[in-house]
Amino acid sequence: MSGYVDLHSHYLPGVDDGVRTLDESLRLLTGLKALGFDEVVATPHIRTAMFENRKPGLVKAFEELVSIVDLSTVPKLSLGAEHYFDDVFFGLLEKDQVLPYRANKSILIEFRYEAWPMNLEQRIFKVELAGYMPVIAHPERYHALFSRTDSLDSLLDAGCVTLLDTMSLMGKYGEQPRRAAERMLEEGAYDAACSDAHRPDDLDVMARAIERLKKLVGKEEADALLGTRARQILEGTYAP
């Protein structure tokens, strides 16, 4: 299968906990292409006190990578970011210093794993008022969703979409996220799926995870999660 779109990957060298070198970046990108990904979005962390990245520096790093890479050997490349959902994010949002997906209509966000954010629905509404559809990264890894999906319902009703870390299905992040991912797939709680790959070593896990996804939901739905719907989110045409 080709035609997959990876909405979440850490292939920009040396900017966060993703790849460290150009060689790692190239190996990751060529490997994702071999797995069927036609486009891969770089989504480096913007997270206070951990990865103090900002839009100008990430745009520069992305442009430098694109200028070096033989683009015929890798998927189509584009830039977004994985925005940590805190007060700094809202400051960047007000200053137009966030990095949405390339259609400028949806934006990747992540929460603290251990505790569900306070006043979340109201804050999500502010993101939507700014013109963006919130894309929630790896919901299966949030403790509040380990056993039940109820906490997510109001966000889905508000127009958020969800993005499965496909490697969660292989237990990469632990047994509880694996079980939560399988439950939420059964419930139909995911809009799309991604790799969230950080290293070339993730490629083997991702290959097995894609096969596991197909076994759980069938090839047609797996292709929609990794392909059709992921592309619609990227292009700003997806309607939850």
Pair of tokens at residue 143: 């403790």
Residue 117's pLDDT band (cuts 50, 70, 90) = confident
Fold of 4-235: TIM Barrel (3.20.20)
pLDDT at 1 over 80: no
| Secondary structure percentages of the chain, helix, strand, coil, to 5 | 45, 20, 35
pLDDT at 2 over 80: no
Quick: pLDDT tens for 208-237: 999 999 999 999 999 999 999 999 999 999
Residues above pLDDT 90, as percent of the chain: 95
Closest by CA position to 53, among listed 95, 78, 82: 82
- pTM for the whole thing? 0.97
Per the CB < 8 A criterion, the answer to whether 217 and 225 are in contact is: yes
Listed by start position, the domains of the chain span 4-235
CA distance 76 to 89: 27
CA distances from 213 to 52, 96, 133, 135 (A): 34, 36, 25, 20
Per the CB < 8 A criterion, the answer to whether 133 and 238 are in contact is: yes
Pair of tokens at residue 206: 């991702």
CA distance 30 to 202: 13
CA distances from 10 to 18, 32, 58, 212 (A): 5, 12, 12, 22
Closest by CA position to 139, among listed 177, 182, 87, 175: 177
Backbone angles phi, psi at 165, to 5 degrees: -80, 105
